Amino acid sequence: MMRDETPIGLRRLRAFEAVARCGSLSAAAQDLRLSQPALTRSMARLEAELGARLFDRRPEGAFATDEGAIFRRRTDRFFDQMAEAVSQASGGRKAGSRLSALITSAQLRALLAIWRHGSFRAAARALALAEPSLQRPARELEQIIGKPLYKRTAAGLAVSDVGAELARRFALAQSEIGSAREEIGRSFAGRASLRIGVLALAPRHLLARATEQLLLQDRTHRVEVREGSYATLVQELKNGGIDILIGALRTPPPLSDLMDEPLFEDPYAIVCRMGHPLLGQVDVRAHDLAPYEWIFPSEGLPRRAVLNEFLKRTKLPHVVQFETSCEATISALLTTSDRISILSRRHIELDGHQALAFIDGLDVAHAPRYVGLTYRASWLPTPFQSAFLKEIRTACAALTEPVARRAPAVQTGSTC
């Protein structure tokens, strides 16, 4: 789900910031070196774009309305993030605000398009521009920053590492304006949005419960859920492609600009199908597992390291026949054979895996494993997003019963 409304021009955003800061149109016009009629037209156009009145004009000055106060908070964050991005890219910490004030909408749009589409050629095609028309603002931005923003690749000219990081941070800054539109109810069709990344073994039942409560309150709002690997979803989180990530937390957090919030502990357990021979056995020991083949999580997953260590410690056979990162495939293989694997206890308990059961009595030793939320340290949730956070925290806080229990012995059903 893209927040892809036509971006508001930087000139109008700067005009709004000046009026809000100066408290009057005349003072803002002097600050920007514009005529007051030109500034008035700019404000009128901005209010028309947003469908909201941002200022009360009085003889003593211009005073922000409630919508104007919301928009100012977001535009202040937008400009702060733009300045920080430019400071980092240019290497001149004190020059960020001065240099970012020189950037035009065309330059911003050019860099973001090249970053998103992979090359000048692809970006020009996506924007329906001739390539020279794109190169001009792109190169002007490079001159402002004073560092190479582009490099030649097999696909043509693309962003350099400096250019990619600058574009990423510009994209995050630009999302503040999309959030402002949502907060004042002037986003596309008046919708608020939330984009959630979900890892394997994340508590989908709790996620569904939290989002259902929100969507029942207002059916115009939208929630998008994307599933993927940790590496992929963390990158989307950093780029602003998703707002929040739910799943097993990594210890320590991999990046300093991300925040982790634990919700509940969710240890691993050895699992099998209902009716498995081991479930009818009293006091199962490690050597009792020897006749059964394992379904291995893929290399690189935390579960794989835990299973490898368990097999080493118990001196059980370590023969890899099935290996997958797909939880649905693991469940299917378990239910159609006597194979065994490891999954999280809460995942089996909460998400309706009625055909699977735990093999109790065998500890799978590992560091404490917590399921929780990961989000950008600089993230300022909209009211809709904050409401989701409240719902998911409440749902997870209700997990009070012990996690160490065997699945009921008389249930059947799908494992998907």
Residues 219 and 162 placed together within one structural domain of the fold: no
161's enclosing H/E stretch is: helix 161-183
Highest mean predicted confidence (pLDDT) among 132-141, 198-207, 209-218, 245-254 = 132-141
- The band of 188, judged by pLDDT with boundaries at 50, 70 and 90, is low
Assess contact for 141 and 149: CB atoms under 8 A: yes
Residues 238 and 279 placed together within one structural domain of the fold: no
* 234 domain-assigned: yes
Percentage of the chain lying above the pLDDT 70 cut: 93
Number of domains in the chain: 3
Percentage of the chain lying above the pLDDT 90 cut: 70
Residues 104 and 235 placed together within one structural domain of the fold: no
> pLDDT at position 401, please?
46
* 364 domain-assigned: no
Q: Is 3 a residue whose pLDDT tops 60? A: no
Residues 255 and 304 placed together within one structural domain of the fold: no
CATH number at residue 222: 3.40.190.10
Average pLDDT, the chain: 88
> pLDDT at position 380, please?
96
Q: Which of residues 197 and 361 earns the better pLDDT score?
A: 197
Residues 132 and 280 placed together within one structural domain of the fold: no
Residues 195 and 333 placed together within one structural domain of the fold: no
> pLDDT at position 276, please?
94
* 294 domain-assigned: yes
Could you tell me the residue range of the domain that residue 293 belongs to? 268-358
Quick one: tokens of 59?
Answer: 């003889």
DSSP string for 14-53:
HHHHHHHHHSSHHHHHHHHT--HHHHHHHHHHHHHHHTS-
Interval 160-173: pLDDT, tens? 999 999 999 999 99
Q: Which residues of 262-298 are buried (b: 16+ CB within 10 A; e: fewer)?
A: ebbebbbbbbbbbebebbeeeeeebeebeebbbbbbe
* 384 domain-assigned: yes
Residues 78 and 158 placed together within one structural domain of the fold: yes
* 45 domain-assigned: yes
* 334 domain-assigned: yes
Interval 82-91: pLDDT, tens? 999 999 999 8
* 140 domain-assigned: yes
CATH number at residue 129: 1.10.10.10
Q: Which of residues 355 and 190 earns the better pLDDT score?
A: 355
> pLDDT at position 5, please?
55
Residues 154 and 196 placed together within one structural domain of the fold: no
Residues 333 and 226 placed together within one structural domain of the fold: no
Residues 162 and 62 placed together within one structural domain of the fold: yes
